[in-house]
Amino acid sequence: MNSDLKVIKKKYGEDMAKLCRELFPTLLETEGLLSKLLLDNFEVNHDLCQDILTQNLEEEFKRYIYSLVNVEKENIVDTKKTPQELLSEAGYELYECHSEEDIQKFKKYYAEGEELCTFRGGRLNKCIVFFAVKKDVDKIKREDYKVPRRQDDYGTSVISIQFTRDISHTLSIKNRYNHRVNNPDSTFSNNLDNIIKGLTESFEREYGLSQQHLNGCFEMNNYVLANDGKFYKYNFERGNIYFCPNNIVINNFNVRKYEKEKYIVFDNFILDLVNREIKRADGAKKDAFINTLGEIEKIEIEKQGKEKTIKLKIKNQEDVIIVLNANNQMIKLVNNNVKVIGNDFLTDNFLQEISLPNLEEVGYDFCMGNNSLQTITFPKLRRVEGNFLRYNNSLQEVNLPELEETSFYFLSENRSIKKLNCPKLKVIEDGSFRALTSLLELDCPNLEEVGSGVFRYNKLQSINCPKLRKVGNHFLEYTSSLQDINFPELEEIGDNFLVGFTKAIRSIKCPKLRKIGNHSLTYVNSLLKLSLPSLEEVGDDFLCDNEGLKKVDFPKLKKAGNRFLARNQVIEEVNIPNLEKVGREFLREHAIFNENNVRGNMRGLK
């Protein structure tokens, strides 16, 4: 093994040495060249080879390394056109942001939960910020992209082009999906010429934004190019801060390495072992997690294999236990002291288990986006704010025996939840229980009221809510497996009740239901039995386009909207004796008035 391969083996591992022997035989002829290229451009990392192979980047990596031998800017195109002119040719309007107000004007283009960290404020202190907006942006709709891809038409229809204000002018091109796709801050591989040829040189000439480190077209998932010209592997990114193995934090592309003897960097936090305190790596003064800890008197660390357990001795309280994995990501938290937690508690983290046995109340965005979370213990939790445990796709069981009150998007987009126990829950707000596609049975014995969009996109087979009185719009929309419904106390339903692929519904029984909104029970062709004896008013399209219902009996119905009972070809009997007013196209495309074998009773119709 030559001297270069010995260095590479020591710094990057044996597999990397083997890969380099295969890819770079010519470079290995010049002693010291290849090892220097790697050390100058990649932080020491024994995962590098495996990451290259896993992402099928052997050829791209080879081309990149060979390009470093050549003149750095030999392929840059100069068209003499301004960035505005070039981007206009590419279909964009370019805007430079001179104030926070300028930045906030572009927030309107981002869907809920996909807003850039840039909109949180303060970005202009560190970066020069541009936005490029497609001229036909109003025609490119988020709902048309069910499976988002970083560089699809929607993702690139609004991009933020940001240069750091330091001498390196490191570039980040940010995607419209934000963190719903991989590497959203490296759209177009952070290469302006990938948008349109000549744009790199144009920005340099027009604005003096010469990039010190150009990485061509090379990029890797979970790697960031820092201001020192090196690629660093990172565990996760938040607010343009990258948290890397080996106690490295890259803030706005500036690298800081923390001494392992004095600090432990985990997730978004820095544990100071000397001063016995935890701080946010982004410098934020407030944090819901830190606020739950109290005064740390002593820190004990125990290593078990690749994991380490941190025991925080809290003054006048019980110990707080934190378990970190090999990448210093917090995977377990036990805190017996906390009763109330504020907003943004441990969002987008790596927790697998969390135990807060005395917790009673939490704020907004509690543990949202923790896709590894499998076990929760909150036996005393009574009240939660919006986005509670939203986007947690590993959680299979939720037991909240004391929970009474929730807010919007409660437990939504948890596609692995199979068992749910909330026996005291009374009120659910908008968007909650959405897309719980693994939940087959729901039992909420004290639930009285739900908002709009609740239980959408589900595969429920049974639902028991005996005290439910009122529901909002889109209730049980896109319910694919539910066959029988019985809500004995339900009095009012909003729009779009049970529409969209609800092909399994056979019977509905709501003896106290008085009012249903628009577009409800349309295209429910499996419906055979409908018992709504107290129904008084229905909106447009009620029971439109159904092919299973043969008898309609609404003894108290007085008012119906447009297209009521339209295109119901198999109806044989209609009994609506008190119907007084009905909209257009009532019983359209049905022979009920012409065929003697079809009975109808609508004597109250005016």
3-state secondary structure string across 517-574? CCCCCCCCCCCCEEECCCCCEECCCCCCCCCCCCEEECCCCCEECCCCCCCCCCCCEE
CA–CA dist 499, 493 (Å, integer): 13
Parallel, antiparallel or unpaired: strands 231-233 and 223-225: antiparallel
Q: Express each pLDDT in 266-298 by its tens digit.
A: 988 999 999 999 999 888 888 999 999 999 999
- Residue identified by tokens 């791209």 is 60
pLDDT, position 341 = 97
Record the tokens describing residue 242, joined without a space. Answer: 């990258």
Record the tokens describing residue 446, joined without a space. Answer: 């004290």
CA–CA dist 67, 390 (Å, integer): 44
Task: Judge whether residue 4 has pLDDT over 70.
Answer: yes
pLDDT, position 501 = 59
Q: Express each pLDDT in 458-499 by its tens digit.
A: 888 999 999 999 999 999 988 888 899 999 999 999 999 988
Q: Which residues contact 173 (CB under 8 A, 6 or more apart)?
A: 159, 160, 161, 162, 185, 186, 187, 188, 190, 192, 195
Of all residues in the chain, the percent with pLDDT exceeding 70 is: 94
Order the strands of the 529-531 sheet from edge to edge. Answer: 484-486, 507-509, 529-531
pLDDT class of 265 with cuts at 50, 70, 90: very high
What is Dmax (Cα atoms) for the chain?
100
Q: Express each pLDDT in 416-440 by its tens digit.
A: 999 999 999 999 999 999 889 899 9
- What mean pLDDT do residues 366-375 have? 92
Order the strands of the 277-280 sheet from edge to edge. Answer: 263-266, 269-272, 277-280
The DSSP secondary structure of 263-309, one letter per residue, reads EEEETTEEEETTTTEEEETT--S--HHHHTT--EEEEEEEEETTEEE
Q: Can you tell me whether residue 512 is helix, strand or coil?
A: coil
Task: Judge whether residue 599 has pLDDT over 70.
Answer: no
Helix pair 33-41, 58-67: axis angle to 10 deg: 100
pLDDT class of 573 with cuts at 50, 70, 90: confident
Torsion of CA 363, 369, 375, 376, to 10 degrees: 0
Task: Judge whether residue 594 has pLDDT over 50.
Answer: no
The one-letter amino acid code at 421 reads N
pLDDT class of 38 with cuts at 50, 70, 90: very high
Q: Is the dihedral of CA 341, 346, 348, 349 positive or negative?
A: negative
CA–CA dist 143, 120 (Å, integer): 25
pLDDT class of 216 with cuts at 50, 70, 90: low
CA–CA dist 185, 441 (Å, integer): 40
Q: Can you tell me whether residue 189 is helix, strand or coil?
A: helix
pLDDT class of 82 with cuts at 50, 70, 90: very high
Give the CA angle between residues 352, 358, 363 to the nearest 5°.
70
Give the CA angle between residues 524, 529, 532 to the nearest 5°.
95
Of 196, 205, 122, 126, the residue nearest 159 (C-alpha): 196
Q: Which residues contact 583 (CB under 8 A, 6 or more apart)?
A: 540, 560, 561, 562, 563, 564
Residue spans of the domains in the chain: they are 3-70, 83-233
- What mean pLDDT do residues 391-407 have? 92
Task: Judge whether residue 213 has pLDDT over 70.
Answer: no
The better pLDDT of the pair 406, 593 is held by 406
Of 117, 119, 186, the residue nearest 151 (C-alpha): 186
Phi-psi region of 147 (alpha: psi -120 to 50; beta: other; left: phi over 0): beta
Cβ pair 536, 515 in contact under 8 A? yes
- What mean pLDDT do residues 94-100 have? 96
Parallel, antiparallel or unpaired: strands 353-355 and 361-362: unpaired
Task: Judge whether residue 72 has pLDDT over 50.
Answer: no
Record the tokens describing residue 348, joined without a space. Answer: 């987008």
Task: Judge whether residue 228 has pLDDT over 70.
Answer: yes
CA–CA dist 382, 431 (Å, integer): 20
pLDDT, position 363 = 96
The better pLDDT of the pair 110, 71 is held by 110
Q: Can you tell me whether residue 383 is helix, strand or coil?
A: strand
pLDDT, position 297 = 96
Task: Judge whether residue 503 has pLDDT over 80.
Answer: no
Record the tokens describing residue 519, joined without a space. Answer: 């577009």
Task: Judge whether residue 217 has pLDDT over 70.
Answer: no
pLDDT, position 405 = 87
Mean pLDDT value across the chain: 89
Query: How many CB atoms sit inside 10 A of residue 295's CB?
Result: 12
CA–CA dist 428, 449 (Å, integer): 6
Residue 311 main-chain phi, psi, to 5 deg: -105, 115
- What mean pLDDT do residues 302-321 have? 95
Of 150, 8, 2, 14, the residue nearest 65 (C-alpha): 8
Task: Judge whether residue 88 has pLDDT over 50.
Answer: yes
Query: How many CB atoms sit inside 10 A of residue 182's CB?
Result: 12
